[in-house]
Amino acid sequence: MIAATDVTKRYGAHEALRGVSFTAAPGERLAIIGPNGAGKTTLLSILGGLVPPTSGTVTAEGGAVGWVPQQTAVYRKLSVAENLRLFARLERVADPRAAVERALADTGLAERAGDELGTLSGGNQQRVNIAIGLLADPPVLLLDEPSSALDPRHRQRVWAFLDRKAEGGTTIVFTTHDLAEAARHADRVLVLADGERLFEGTPEELETAVGGDAKDFEAAFVAFLTAKGH
């Protein structure tokens, strides 16, 4: 579980987040969506502890939060196993070897454990990127646009992997511009615009909020933003 209470972030005169609150339950998948400049990445960075909030609080179950940046944050000159081992040691995981073996099994990359990461496809690199975020087996995993640079086949693999983690009880919070992906893989969505929380609920509830006659979730989202003056 992770909860944000009245989180505000100011950069000088600019207010990037204005009193945002939400809660994501264990095993829940929460998508943070919104137009460019809405404050999605800022909120995720605050949840992940990268950036301190100006005011407000963030509470995470067990205090441990896994974080997966948008771009693959791994060393291309190291092998898959070496990357996993390095971060397992830096995370001070009790049994780094077991954690690496588990991550290799989870990602389905055990056969390529010795390959330099730079030789892997973008999709496989992203799976390693996500696996590193899960090395310490955190109850909450934050992902910044996890499938933005992937082709549909790799995107499907990554989501299958994340869906399994959610089924296992991990709370998944992710940002995305792909509204179809949000509708398909999120249990609930949090809509932000200009740093303000406009909506929190299921994709179906958002569609209902705009009359339920939108042809798809993307159309409903655009209609919702327009109705709210964005």
Rounded to the nearest 10 degrees, what angle do helices 96-107 and 80-90 cross at? 130
**Residues at the site binding another protein, with contacts judged by CB under 8 A:** 48-50, 67, 69, 71-78, 82, 86-87, 89-91, 116, 132
CA atoms within 13 A on the CB side of 106: 28
Report the SS3 class of residue 25: coil
Q: How far is the CB of 229 from another protein (least distance, A)?
A: 32
Nearer to another protein, 49 or 211 (CB): 49
Report the alpha-carbon distance of residue 3 to residue 128 in Å, rounded: 27
100: closest CA among 55, 56, 137, 63? 137
Pick between residue 117 and residue 189 the one whose CB is nearest to another protein. 117
State which residue, 89 or 97, has the beta carbon closest to another protein.
89
Residue 197 token pair = 């929380």
Q: Which is nearer to another protein, 73 or 219 (CB)?
A: 73
Minimum CB separation of residue 207 from another protein in Å reads 35
Closest CA to 130 of 116, 110, 144, 149: 144
The nearest distance, CB 5 to another protein, in angstroms, is 21
Q: In 3D, which of 128, 105, 106, 103 has the Cα closest to residue 115?
A: 128
Which is closer to another protein, CB of 67 or CB of 174? 67
Output the smallest distance, CB 21 to another protein, in A.
23
The neighbour count for residue 131, using CB atoms within 10 Å, is 26
Please state the closest distance from residue 70 (CB atom) to another protein, in A: 8
